[in-house]
Amino acid sequence: MGVILGIESTAHTFSFGGVYSNGKTISSTSALFRPEEGGIHPREAADHHSLLSGNLFKEFITKNDIPVSEIDAIAFSQGPGLGPCLRVGASVARSLSEKISKPLIGVNHCVAHIEIGRLQTGCDDPVLLYVSGGNTQVIARNGGRYRVIGETLDIGIGNMLDKFARTQGIPFPGGPKIEKLALEWLNNNPNASLDEIILPYGVQGMDLSFSGILTAAVQKVADGHSLQEVCWSLQEHSFSTCIEVAERALAHTGKNELLLGGGVACNERIREMSELMCIDRGAKAFWPEKQYCIDNGTMIAELGRKMIKHNLYTKLEDSAIDPSMRTDHAEVVWD
């Protein structure tokens, strides 16, 4: 059976993954760029990706026992993302396509987060709460597009968590460590009250905002609150804003499935909040395995698989990257 290869390279992660033509997933082989200090410099991340791409590809096909002759098509993230990083993925995809004479499929990274979630969880027509480092969006399918019905007006929620972590000397990615510290606080203080540590609540209509809460959280630590307590409050406030907007999206669209996607969807607390909100309104919450919440090549392959069923290949001359590609850019013709 043929394999669709997927290449992910929008930001810090370079990854190869795959899906068999019947929809059976092949776990990704990935490398994460971790800056020694500060945030991610696009050029440095791109250098990391191009340095590792050859060995990573070999590792992926060897580990999964995939003869190159079985690869039917090569899907890659065409956007959105950091230009230099996207360019590495696109170049690798073009060279492979040329070498093995198999077609290219340029895919929308955000839509890939949705499609891997649908494949993995079996949900059909969800509202997607897409919470990652660079993006925070509430998305629903309508009229042949995935429409963004609410989103952050400044930074992504994961970016906010990572930046807060960095101010406390916690290296990238900060989200998992914040989750751990928040849980420690709750375990030691089962009756903890948010009244003791109120942070800004950034909901504006259907949109969200995270820059204010970041500044306020840093200040709370400077004021003498423990880091664990601030991490707990930071999660409670910022996740609640996402859940509120997601709930309103369910109400407005009349849909009854909520799907989580993006790296922050690895967090057990946002999963729990989603479940509680859905139970309350007779809806159902879904999330894919953690390996498919974070950026991965398998999700790119899955969207490619859906697109080629409708002959949506990408010609070489149309394979340029688009760093600011929007979620509603792609016409959704697949089921």
Identify the three-state secondary structure at position 145: strand
CB neighbour class for 174 (10 Å; exposed up to 12, middle 13-18, buried from 19): buried
Site size for ligand ATP (CB under 6 A): 26
Residue 229 Cβ vs ligand ATP, minimum distance, rounded to whole Å: 17
Tell me whether residue 130 or residue 185 sits nearer to Fe ion (CB atom).
Answer: 130
11 interacts with, out of Fe ion, ligand ATP, none, CB within 5 to 8 A per kind:
ligand ATP
Residue 21 Cβ vs ligand ATP, minimum distance, rounded to whole Å: 26
DSSP string covering 247-305: HHHHHHHT--EEEEESGGGG-HHHHHHHHHHHHHTT-EEE---HHHHS--HHHHHHHHH
CB neighbour class for 78 (10 Å; exposed up to 12, middle 13-18, buried from 19): buried
Residue 215 Cβ vs ligand ATP, minimum distance, rounded to whole Å: 18
Q: Which of 2, 176, 200, 323 binds ligand ATP (CB under 6 A)?
A: 176
Does residue 161 bind ligand ATP (CB under 6 A)?
yes
Does residue 267 bind ligand ATP (CB under 6 A)?
yes
Residue 65 Cβ vs ligand ATP, minimum distance, rounded to whole Å: 27
- Alpha carbons 284 and 277: distance in angstroms, whole number: 9
Please report, as residue ranges, which positions from 121 to 160 form the binding site for Fe ion (by CB under 5 A).
132
133 interacts with, out of ligand ATP, Fe ion, none, CB within 5 to 8 A per kind:
ligand ATP
CA-based radius of gyration for the chain: 20
Does residue 10 bind ligand ATP (CB under 6 A)?
yes
**Which span (14-22, 199-207, 241-249, 256-264) binds ligand ATP, by CB under 6 A?**
256-264
Tell me whether residue 162 or residue 295 sits nearer to Fe ion (CB atom).
Answer: 295
Q: Which of 72, 115, 162, 295 binds Fe ion (CB under 5 A)?
A: 295
Does residue 214 bind ligand ATP (CB under 6 A)?
no
Q: Taking a C-beta distance cutoff of 8 angstroms, is the pair 156, 132 a contact?
A: yes
Q: Which of 117, 263, 297, 304 binds ligand ATP (CB under 6 A)?
A: 263
**Which span (36-44, 211-219, 291-299, 315-323) binds Fe ion, by CB under 5 A?**
291-299
**Degrees to nearest 5, angle at CA 82 with 80 and 86:** 75
Give which of 9, 146, 3 is closest to 78, Cα–Cα.
Answer: 9
Please report, as residue ranges, which positions from 99 to 158 form the binding site for ligand ATP (by CB under 6 A).
109, 132-135, 156, 158
Joined together, the tokens standing for residue 140 give 């629903």
Q: Which of 264, 273, 299, 332 binds ligand ATP (CB under 6 A)?
A: 264
What are the C-alpha distances in Å from 332 to residues 49, 108, 125, 141, 207? 30, 11, 12, 9, 24
Joined together, the tokens standing for residue 177 give 């460590």
Residue 165 Cβ vs ligand ATP, minimum distance, rounded to whole Å: 7
Q: β-strand 104-108 against 13-20: which pairing, if any?
A: unpaired
Site size for Fe ion (CB under 5 A): 2
What are the C-alpha distances in Å from 157 to residues 37, 150, 237, 271, 328? 20, 13, 11, 15, 20
Which residues have CB under 8 Å from 318's CB, separation 6+? 106
Query: Which residues are near ligand ATP by CB under 6 A?
Result: 10-13, 81, 109, 132-135, 156, 158, 161-162, 173-176, 179, 262-264, 266-267, 294-295
